[in-house]
């Protein structure tokens, strides 16, 4: 059985990482286009570097939560693929082995000239003057607003082969990621785990109103009791 998890920022909320939207969301304190767009980079790349250096330091200190660990444990019973919008590495650190990062990875830097020139940087800052092998400034390996999402086709194929799809921690407001739920084949069981129900125009969705930690414990218990 193929189980696909589509996760968003709420997945890491219980690890102490802020979500983007809502009252206490990150985008209340920042202008998205200043820090997460090619225009923002062209206007003030030092501000962009500072923004992601802060995110990287926070992520380095955060730990996977019960939800991340429950998802990793599901590999005992299912072929699990995690398709995440998150740039953190908490699914990896919890032990999940098959993960697609739709919006990039904070622990990597890439050339601002050639997008496939990618470097592992761990939790270290990227500073002005840190160059790639071609001599151009390194930027975070993050997909910004207005940029292509290179992993979207691979993710769509994975979702189209799912027997069970669990959507969690995402407000489903950002495309093309939000559109992935429509790739689920007919007959695929769809679950939603979120304390606040996002609008999901798909019939027959099974909803667990809970945070990811408690929600995935409930989900695992339900699935195991079948
Ligand atoms: P959002 O901040 O838009 O949505 C967070 C979702 O998590 C909401 O539905 C919350 O109700 C839910 N949530 C809150 N606490 C939770 C918990 N403990 N457990 C489970 N769910 C919880 O985040 P995303 O949908 O991930 O993109 O945002 C999508 C994209 O927008 C991000 O990848 C990022 C952002 O701009 C880029 O930066 C390119």
Q: 96: pLDDT confidence band, cut at 50, 70 and 90? A: very high
The confidence score (pLDDT) of residue 154 equals: 98
pLDDT in tens, 190-225: 999 999 988 888 889 999 999 999 999 999 999 999
Q: Which atom of ligand 1 is nearest to the CA of 145?
A: 39
The confidence score (pLDDT) of residue 132 equals: 97
Mean model confidence pLDDT for the chain: 96
* Pairing mode of beta strands 138-142, 189-193: unpaired
Geometric angle at alpha carbon 168, from 210 and 190, rounded to 5°: 100
The confidence score (pLDDT) of residue 41 equals: 98
CA of 85 to the centre of ligand 1 (A): 8
66-73 and 212-224 helices cross at what angle (nearest 10)? 30
Catalytic residue status for 103: yes
pLDDT in tens, 64-83: 999 999 999 999 999 999 99
Tell me phi and psi for residue 201, to 5 degrees: -85, 65
- Candidate from 92-101, 159-168, 193-202 with smallest mean pLDDT: 193-202
Q: Is the pTM of this model over 0.75?
A: yes
Q: Report the pocket of ligand 1 as residue ranges, CB < 6 Å.
A: 8-10, 13-14, 19-21, 25, 36, 85, 103, 143, 145, 168-171, 173-174, 194-196, 198, 211-212
Which of 162, 222, 173, 169 lies closest to 196 in space, CA to CA?
169
The token pair that represents 50 in the structure block: 């500072």
Q: Whose CA is nearest to atom 13 of ligand 1?
A: 10
Q: What is the dihedral of CA 147, 165, 13, 196, to 10 degrees?
A: 100
Q: Which atom of ligand 1 is nearest to the CA of 170?
A: 25
The confidence score (pLDDT) of residue 172 equals: 95
Q: Whose CA is nearest to atom 18 of ligand 1?
A: 211
Q: Which atom of ligand 1 is nearest to the CA of 144?
A: 39
């Amino acid at each position: 059985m193929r189980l696909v998890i589509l996760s968003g920022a709420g997945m890491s909320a219980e690890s102490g990482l802020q979500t983007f939207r809502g009252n206490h969301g990150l985008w209340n304190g920042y202008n998205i286009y200043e820090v997460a767009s090619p225009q923002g980079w062209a206007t003030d790349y030092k501000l962009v570097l500072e923004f992601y250096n802060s995110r990287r330091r926070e992520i380095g200190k955060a730990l996977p939560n019960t939800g991340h660990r429950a998802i990793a444990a599901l590999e005992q019973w299912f072929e699990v693929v995690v398709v995440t919008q998150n740039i953190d590495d908490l699914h990896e650190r919890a032990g999940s082995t098959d993960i697609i990062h739709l919006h990039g990875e904070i622990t990597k830097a890439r050339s601002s000239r050639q997008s496939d020139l990618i470097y592992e940087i761990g939790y270290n800052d990227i500073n002005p003057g840190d160059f790639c092998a071609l001599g151009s400034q390194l930027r975070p390996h993050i997909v910004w607003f207005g940029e292509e999402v290179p992993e979207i086709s691979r993710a769509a194929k994975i979702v189209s082969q799912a027997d069970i799809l669990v959507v969690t921690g995402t407000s489903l407001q950002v495309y093309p990621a939000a559109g992935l739920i429509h790739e689920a084949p007919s007959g695929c069981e769809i679950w939603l785990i979120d304390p606040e129900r996002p609008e999901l125009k798909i019939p027959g969705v099974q909803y667990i109103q809970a945070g990811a930690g408690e929600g995935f414990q409930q989900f695992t218990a339900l699935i195991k009791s079948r």
